Each structure stands twice: as C-alpha cells, then as structure tokens.
C-alpha cells in the first residue's frame, strides 16, 4: 500500500511562542538509507511522547522520529499552552458531556500531566511551567448560562472550582470586560514552543530525531519505507503522529473520519512598566472563554498578552496570508474590547495551526493495519491528549497493560463524515453559526 503526502506542513505565519525563543541549533535532516526498529512520523506532542516511551521500554531498539520542520514549529508549539485536566468538549456548549466519559477524559488528561511534569522536572526543561489552574470568563447572558452549566457539570463530577464575580475577575485580569468567572485549579500553563523544544532536546539516546525532513511517500509493507527528499527510512513498525495530515490517508480509513480544522493565535509585544501599571491585575493568568467559540486570553510573566480565537475548516491543512490578516483584525478587536487601557499595544505575531477533530470526539487510536499504529486526532486538546496518546500507543504496541490504556481503547472510533461538498458546507456553516452565537464572548 502506498500513501502519498500531498499536503505537507507549511511555513505559514510567524508563531510568537517559537519566534521569541533563541534560534535552535542546526537540524539533522534524514539523508541516505536508514534502518530502524521503529519510525514515528511527526515530532509534535504525540510523536515526542511515543518516541520517548518506546525508547524507555526498549532501550536497545533504534527509534527514528521524523518531522517536516523543526520541533516546536508545528501545532505542538503554536497552541495556547493550557494543559487541561478537565473535560474540554469543543462540540458542547459548556465543555462537559456524558458523565462517565468525562471521568475517563479526566483520568487520561491527568495521566498526561503527571507524565509531562516528571519529564520537565527530571530534565529541568525551562518552559514557564505554571500550576496555576485556569479561569473561565463569561460576558453575555448565554456565556453566563454556559458557565453555570459548566459549574453544575463540575459539581456532578466532584471537581473543585471557585466562582468569581466581576470585581474578582478584574482583580485578576485587570479587565472589567468579564461579568463572571470561575477558577479550576488542575490546569497547568506552559510556553508551548519551549516545552516541546525541551522535549526534543532531552530524548533518550536511542531516539534519532530527523528534522526538516518532509515525508512525501510511505510504502506500507514489511518493512515500511518512508521517503524524504534526501533519504529513505525503513522500519518494521510505524507510529503515525502527524495530526490532521493523517486525514489524507484514505487507504488507512482515516479520510472521511478525521477533520483538519485551524485555530489562530496572536502575541502582543511586551508591555512597558507604565502599561502594566495601567492594566493592573495579576502577573500571570490564563482564561478560557465560557463559550467554546469565544476568545482565550493569557497574560504571560514576561508582560506579553496572548489571544486565541477563530476556527476554520482547512481540508488542505494550510492557511493563507489573507486569512491570517483577517484573523489578526479579529484578534485586534478582541484585544481592544478587553484592554481599552492599552490602546497602543500592537500584536507582534499572528499565526494559525492545525487541530485534528472528529465529529463524535472519537479517536482512531490503535493498530490500523499490521505494524501501523495511530496516535492522531486529539480533538483540540493536544497538550494532554497528544501526550497521553503518544505514551499509550507505545505501551499498546509493546503489550504493556494499564488502566489508562484500557480507558483509551474504550474510546469511540471517529464517526464517518458525509462526503464533500456536503462536509465542507456543513462544517463551515456550523462554525460560522457558532461563532456568530458567541457574540461578545469573541
């Protein structure tokens, strides 16, 4: 079976998290003929975790980890940095859903946070790791209703939270935009690009990382062969950790079940001491909108403000300069609504990144065909779900049993989507409708 990678990761937009780091050392692209025991495609959250776990469990095996670009350049380094422990169903109006499934999501998410915390501490990875929980903020009546429903859902799950009124929200954020809020304590916030770069730099010795090596073709067989511009990689076992780019692999049953969706981030310049005084509030906080279609905001310890909103359907897993310009305008409005006291603070960086979602929140986790394992489709929650999918796919492939693996294997498979053009029409109109409904929460 031959898989062709028609859609490859682009060099689209300047991601503020990545660009504000020092340049990385030179990369080592794949060259010539290389043989390995395992190959992991994609050095994002899932791929880094899968390669690390395979190496931990099989210290004598040769593990190749291949990425089209530098570690931290893809969505793993472009996200808003919330390692979310609680249910986070983007399809629902308040993030929660079926009770027993929510319990399972919490177990998986906390398993990921524990694994990541241990790695970050052991290797001293400098990624602004903050165990400060997250805020949820509401502005309009429907946002307040979503917040109430979320609080009810948390009570039913026995999860702690504190309710905040408008004044308390202002004391934390400096903004009087939010009418009510809620704080949940278990979320960890990170600088995502420095986290994943740190993960890439501290891989076990038996992992060889090949960056700047777009895989153009995969021949699935015994062994599998991955072809790049300058090399070929052979391995009997392949782990797919290539996020939404896996949606083009129709022969593996992924096309038509998983969907590439984009969301977008911006990062402001650093605020001056005078601007920080005008803003007020706490030195570092992160806020998720009560309505999942609203705006995520973070104030970073270095005095920058990060904004995230807008979802688009991108079947070619790419975006355009004109789309980024439109999104930048939307981010500007969101910024001004929240921070009228900061009229001259420009957004220095704006970028987009891919999410891989399925209609029912299901996952194609498992062995797709003999020797090809899938750790793709994190349904918008890559920092935790990507990490745990990667760790558990390694354990699954090596026959290591655990309660978390049982939970992962119980997750539903992705539901089939209608064919194009119905799919595109449906997804675009649903996103537009939900975004319109989000109103001022944007």
Q: Does residue 47 contact residue 40 with C-beta atoms inside 8 Å? A: yes
Based on DSSP, count helices (H) and strands (E) in the chain, helices before strands.
11, 21
Strands 231-235 and 38-41: unpaired
Our CB check for ligand FAD shows the closer of 153 and 289 to be 289
Smallest gap from Cβ 431 to ligand FAD, in A, equals: 15
As measured in angstroms, the least distance from the Cβ of 210 to ligand FAD is 9
Give the nearest distance from C-beta 188 to ligand FAD in angstroms. Answer: 10
215 Cα distance to chain centroid: 21
Closest CA to 90 of 289, 319, 339: 289
Nearer to ligand FAD, 116 or 355 (CB): 355
Q: What are phi and psi of 286, to 5 degrees?
A: -140, 135
The CA-atom distances, in angstroms, between 115 and each of 6, 34, 112, 121, 287 are: 34, 30, 5, 10, 24
Q: Which two tokens stand for residue 56?
A: 């931990």
Q: How far apart are CA 57 and CA 239, in angstroms?
A: 15
Closer CB to ligand FAD, 169 or 246, in the complex:
246
Q: Based on CB atoms, which residue is closest to ligand FAD, 24 or 214? A: 214
Of all residues in the shown chain, the one whose CB is closest to ligand FAD is 44
Q: Determine whether 58 is exposed, middle or buried from the number of CB atoms within 10 Å of its CB (0-12, 13-18, 19+).
A: middle
How far apart are the C-alpha atoms of 349 and 132, rounded to whole Å?
25
Beta carbon of residue 266, minimum distance to ligand FAD (angstroms, whole number): 9
Q: Which is nearer to ligand FAD, 231 or 276 (CB)?
A: 231
The least distance separating ligand FAD from the CB of residue 278, rounded to whole angstroms, comes to 27
Sequence-ordered list of residues with C-beta below 8 angstroms from that of 207, at least 6 positions apart, any chain: 51, 52, 54, 55, 63, 64, 65
- Cβ proximity to ligand FAD: between 181 and 275 the closer is 181
The rounded distance, in Å, linking the Cα atoms of 71 and 333 is 32
* Least distance to ligand FAD, CB of residue 58, Å: 21
Q: Is 217:145 a contact under the CB 8 Å cutoff?
A: no
Closest-CA residue to 106 (of 385, 336, 390):
385
Nearest distance in Å: CB 274, ligand FAD? 29
Give whichever of 119 and 278 is closer to ligand FAD, judged by the CB atom: 119
- Burial class of residue 353 (count of CB atoms within 10 Å of its CB; 0-12, 13-18, 19+): buried
Q: Which residues bind ligand FAD (CB under 6 A)?
A: 5, 8-9, 41-47, 66-69, 74-76, 78-82, 84, 214-215, 241-243, 245, 263-265, 308, 353-355, 376, 378, 380-384, 386
Q: Which of 49, 70, 52 has its CA nearest to residue 61?
A: 52
Question: Closest separation between CB of residue 141 and ligand FAD, Å?
Answer: 26
Nearer to ligand FAD, 181 or 286 (CB): 286
């Amino acid at each position: 079976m031959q898989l062709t990678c028609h859609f490859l990761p682009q060099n689209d937009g300047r991601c503020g998290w990545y660009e504000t780091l020092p340049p990385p050392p030179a990369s080592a692209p794949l060259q010539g003929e290389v043989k390995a025991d395992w190959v992991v495609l994609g050095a994002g959250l899932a791929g880094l975790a899968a390669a690390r776990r395979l190496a931990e469990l099989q210290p004598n095996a040769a593990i190749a980890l291949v990425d089209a670009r530098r570690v931290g350049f893809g969505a793993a380094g472009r996200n808003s940095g919330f390692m979310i422990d609680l249910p986070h169903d983007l399809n629902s109006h308040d993030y929660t859903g079926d009770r027993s499934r929510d319990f399972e999501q919490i177990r998986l998410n906390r398993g990921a946070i524990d694994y990541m915390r241990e790695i970050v501490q052991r290797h001293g990875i400098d990624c602004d790791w903050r165990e400060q929980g997250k805020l949820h903020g509401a502005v309009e009546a429907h946002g307040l209703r979503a917040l109430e429903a979320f609080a009810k859902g948390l009570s039913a799950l026995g999860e702690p939270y504190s309710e905040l009124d408008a004044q308390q929200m202002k004391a934390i954020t400096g903004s009087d935009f939010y009418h009510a809020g809620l704080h949940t304590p278990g979320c960890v916030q990170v600088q995502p690009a420095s986290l994943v770069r740190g993960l890439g730099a501290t891989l076990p010795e038996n992992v060889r990382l090949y960056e700047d090596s777009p895989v153009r073709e995969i021949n699935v067989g015994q062994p599998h062969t991955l072809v790049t511009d300058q090399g070929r990689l052979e391995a009997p076992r392949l782990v797919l950790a290539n996020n939404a780019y896996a949606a083009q692999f129709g022969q593996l049953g992924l096309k038509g079940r998983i969907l590439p969706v984009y969301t977008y981030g911006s990062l402001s310049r650093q605020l001056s001491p005078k601007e920080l005084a005008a803003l007020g509030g706490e030195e570092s906080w992160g806020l998720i909108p009560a309505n999942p279609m609203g705006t995520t905001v973070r104030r970073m310890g270095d005095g920058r403000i990060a904004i995230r909103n807008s979802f688009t359907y991108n079947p070619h897993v790419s975006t355009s300069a004109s789309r980024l310009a439109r999104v930048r305008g939307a981010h500007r409005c969101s910024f001004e609504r929240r921070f009228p006291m900061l009229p001259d603070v420009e957004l220095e960086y704006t970028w987009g990144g891919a999410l891989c979602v399925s209609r029912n929140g299901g996952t194609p986790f498992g062995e797709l065909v003999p020797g090809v394992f899938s750790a793709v489709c994190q349904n918008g929650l890559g920092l935790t779900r990507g990490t745990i999918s990667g760790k558990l796919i390694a354990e699954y492939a090596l026959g290591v049993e655990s309660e978390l693996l049982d939970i992962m294997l119980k997750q539903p498979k992705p539901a089939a989507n209608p064919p194009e053009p119905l799919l595109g029409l449906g997804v675009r109109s649903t996103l537009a409708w939900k975004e319109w409904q989000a109103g001022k929460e944007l």
